[in-house]
């Protein structure tokens, strides 16, 4: 596939002195340059964003929804162009880009256009407290103002740009700092938003490295970050200096438990598909597998057979199952984890080697005889590896699955759905699938967030848009009582009545 991407030397009218080369990781060739904006370069973007936000909010949900729906149609009409750009900077297969990026993006534009108002509508509140009798109590959500999004390199549409959609739907203006590794997709989508009528200054892109993202935190009213746990801690510490609210989706080491009564064929298919999807570079990818002893050999045999049949490459649609890796240092991490496992006694049944040619490649790899002394079972690998560990029973599987600082996603396989759900409820993770994996992310009504060190806050559902808002409580007195109990001068009779009321309302419980 040949994709030509012109260099981007001007960002929001400003010519940056420093440029960042963008590589095609499948070939190692530089395909474009984008500006490396300095902290000073952000100031005019912030000013434009703040100036444009009130009018964008004033459009209301219907007005903003029309822009988002047009963008959904634009994305589908231009999907081949967008897929080419995504692949050129990530090395994904065509199918990975279409399924995980285009389909998600189109769904997200329509979902938030349709559901933003419902999630953010005023909520009437009832209270049993006699002091607010007859008064109107309301909870409402108002946009924070200017939202900053710092995106990752593995899903430049779904995660980088995708987090901007609910922020915009809520009425905020947004500055997106995409990963310097994969900025071209966001720039392409910015073109689409402009064609679809988004007002000038409401959505802007700040290309740059880490210093650009750090500076962005100082200027915005809220920051959404997706990336490693280590960097997430730095983002949170930086945001604490200005008390800027944060939402973080961080690292994962997602376990898969295969119980003895599982459908082995389905479990093996899921393990290989979702373990190797996007070359394993997915926060909720299957990273470690625990299989009960009675079916361990059968399961491993099926996984090995399926993994050996995978085609790795960067050709046209239908020509490859697994693409290249995207971020060069990540190949080093995958290789280190595999070599560490081998040195400690693990066996490589499939793959195990990095690519020898151009670009950044690592073979789809299956490891057995692994344990928690090995990095491949305890640290985030973020690559095309499937380490499989034999366990005695479900209790050992649950204990090992929870033996991690991470808690993003997990999956459990069992023909006994009641048993599978019982085990799933004991897993310390933000999302757990039973007899499936990862597809929970496609249900935009279902919250997605991490436990433990895997993040704060959620994507999707009500929380996925309310986090971009300030919750405000309103109390409206529609009429005045003749003598309200809490006003001077105190009324003795009223005070006695209040005492009786309090005993009636709150004194009936047993000590």
Longest dimension (CA), the chain: 90
Nearest to 49 by CA among 163, 153, 202, 155: 202
Domain limits, the chain: 10-250+461-470, 254-445
Contact between 449 and 455 under an 8 Å Cβ cutoff? The reply is yes
List C-alpha distances in Å: 56 to 59, 65, 167, 171, 177: 5, 11, 12, 6, 21
Contact between 386 and 303 under an 8 Å Cβ cutoff? The reply is yes
Contact between 437 and 411 under an 8 Å Cβ cutoff? The reply is yes
Whether residue 489 has a cis bond before it, omega within 30° of 0:
yes
Match 């009218």 to its residue by tokens.
13
86 vs 102: CA distance, rounded Å: 10
CATH 3.40.309.10 fits 254-445, yes or no: yes
pLDDT (0 to 100) of residue 490: 64
Nearest to 253 by CA among 151, 405, 423: 405
388 vs 57: CA distance, rounded Å: 51
The torsion angle over the Cα atoms of residues 39, 42, 47 and 48, rounded to 10 degrees, is 180
431 vs 424: CA distance, rounded Å: 9
Catalytic residue check, 164: no
List C-alpha distances in Å: 21 to 9, 33, 134, 208, 216: 11, 4, 64, 11, 21
The DSSP secondary-structure symbol of 323 reads: -
pLDDT (0 to 100) of residue 9: 46
CA 210, distance to chain mean position in Å, is 19
Contact between 409 and 424 under an 8 Å Cβ cutoff? The reply is no
pLDDT (0 to 100) of residue 485: 58
Catalytic residue among 101, 249, 287, 379: 249
Per-residue pLDDT of the chain (511 residues; tens, 9 = 90+): 444 444 554 444 444 469 999 999 999 999 999 999 999 999 999 999 999 999 999 999 999 999 999 999 999 999 999 999 999 999 999 999 999 999 999 999 999 999 999 999 999 999 988 888 889 999 999 999 999 999 999 999 999 999 999 999 999 999 999 999 999 999 999 999 999 999 999 999 999 999 999 999 999 999 999 999 999 999 999 999 999 999 999 999 999 999 999 999 999 999 999 999 999 999 999 999 999 999 999 999 999 999 999 999 999 999 999 999 999 999 999 999 999 999 999 999 999 999 988 999 999 999 999 999 999 999 999 999 999 999 999 999 999 999 999 999 999 999 999 999 999 999 999 999 999 999 999 999 999 999 999 999 999 999 999 999 999 999 999 876 655 656 666 667 767 777 777 777 777 655 4
Contact between 174 and 167 under an 8 Å Cβ cutoff? The reply is yes
pLDDT (0 to 100) of residue 11: 42
Pick the CATH number of 10-250+461-470 from 3.40.605.10, 1.10.150.120, 3.90.1150.10, 3.30.565.10: 3.40.605.10
CA 387, distance to chain mean position in Å, is 24
List C-alpha distances in Å: 483 to 109, 371, 488, 499: 53, 72, 9, 16
Q: What's the alpha-carbon Rg for the chain, to the nearest Å? A: 26
pLDDT (0 to 100) of residue 500: 77
DSSP string, 67-83: HHHHHHHHHHHTHHHHH
Catalytic residue among 283, 376, 433, 469: 283
Catalytic residue check, 89: no
Please tell me if the domain spanning 10-250+461-470 has the same topology as the one spanning 254-445. Answer: no
């Amino acid at each position: 596939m040949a994709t030509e991407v012109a260099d981007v030397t001007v960002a929001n009218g400003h010519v940056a002195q420093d440029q960042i080369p963008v590589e095609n990781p499948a070939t190692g060739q530089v395909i474009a340059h984008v500006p490396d904006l300095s902290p000073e370069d952000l100031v005019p973007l912030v000013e434009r964003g703040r100036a444009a936000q009130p009018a964008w909010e004033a459009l209301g949900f219907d007005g903003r929804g029309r822009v988002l729906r047009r963008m959904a149609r634009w994305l589908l009409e231009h999907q081949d162009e967008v897929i080419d750009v995504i692949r050129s900077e990530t090395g994904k297969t065509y199918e990975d880009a279409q399924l995980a990026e285009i389909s998600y993006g189109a769904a997200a534009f329509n979902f938030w256009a349709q559901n933003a108002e419902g999630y953010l509508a005023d909520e009437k509140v009832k209270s049993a407290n006699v002091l607010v009798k007859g008064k109107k109590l309301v909870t409402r959500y108002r946009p924070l103002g200017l939202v900053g999004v710092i995106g990752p390199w593995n899903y430049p549409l779904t995660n980088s740009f995708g987090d901007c959609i609910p922020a915009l739907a809520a009425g905020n203006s947004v500055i997106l700092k995409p990963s310097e590794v994969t900025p071209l997709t966001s720039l392409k989508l910015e073109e689409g938003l402009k064609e679809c009528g988004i007002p000038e200054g409401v959505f802007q892109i700040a290309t740059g490295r880490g210093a650009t993202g750090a500076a962005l935190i100082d200027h915005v009213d809220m920051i959404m970050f997706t990336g490693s746990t280590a960097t997430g801690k730095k983002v949170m510490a930086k945001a604490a200096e200005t008390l800027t609210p944060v939402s973080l989706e961080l690292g994962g080491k997602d376990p898969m438990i295969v119980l003895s009564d599982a459908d082995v064929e389905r479990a093996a298919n899921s393990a290989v598909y979702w373990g190797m999807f996007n070359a394993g570079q997915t926060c909720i990818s299957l990273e470690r597998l625990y299989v009960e002893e009675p079916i361990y050999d059968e399961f491993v045999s099926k996984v090995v057979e399926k993994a050996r049949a995978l085609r790795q490459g960067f050709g046209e649609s239908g020509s490859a199952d697994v693409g290249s890796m995207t971020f060069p240092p990540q190949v080093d991490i995958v290789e280190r984890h595999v070599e560490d496992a081998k040195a400690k006694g693990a066996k490589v049944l499939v793959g195990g080697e990095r690519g020898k040619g151009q670009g950044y490649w690592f073979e789809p790899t299956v490891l057995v005889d692994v344990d928690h002394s090995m990095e491949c079972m305890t640290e985030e690998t973020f690559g095309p590896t499937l380490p499989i560990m034999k366990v005695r029973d479900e209790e050992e599987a649950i204990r090992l699955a929870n033996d991690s600082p991470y808690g993003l996603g997990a999956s459990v396989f069992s023909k006994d759905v009641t048993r599978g759900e019982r085990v799933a409820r004991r897993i310390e993770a933000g999302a757990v699938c039973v007899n499936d994996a990862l597809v929970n992310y496609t249900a935009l009504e279902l919250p997605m967030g991490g436990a433990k060190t895997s993040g704060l806050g959620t994507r999707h559902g009500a929380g996925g848009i309310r986090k971009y808002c300030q919750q405000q409580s309103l109390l409206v007195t529609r009429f005045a009582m003749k003598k309200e109990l809490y006003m001077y001068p105190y009324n003795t009779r009223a005070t006695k009545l209040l005492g009786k009321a309090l005993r009636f309302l709150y004194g009936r419980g047993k000590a």
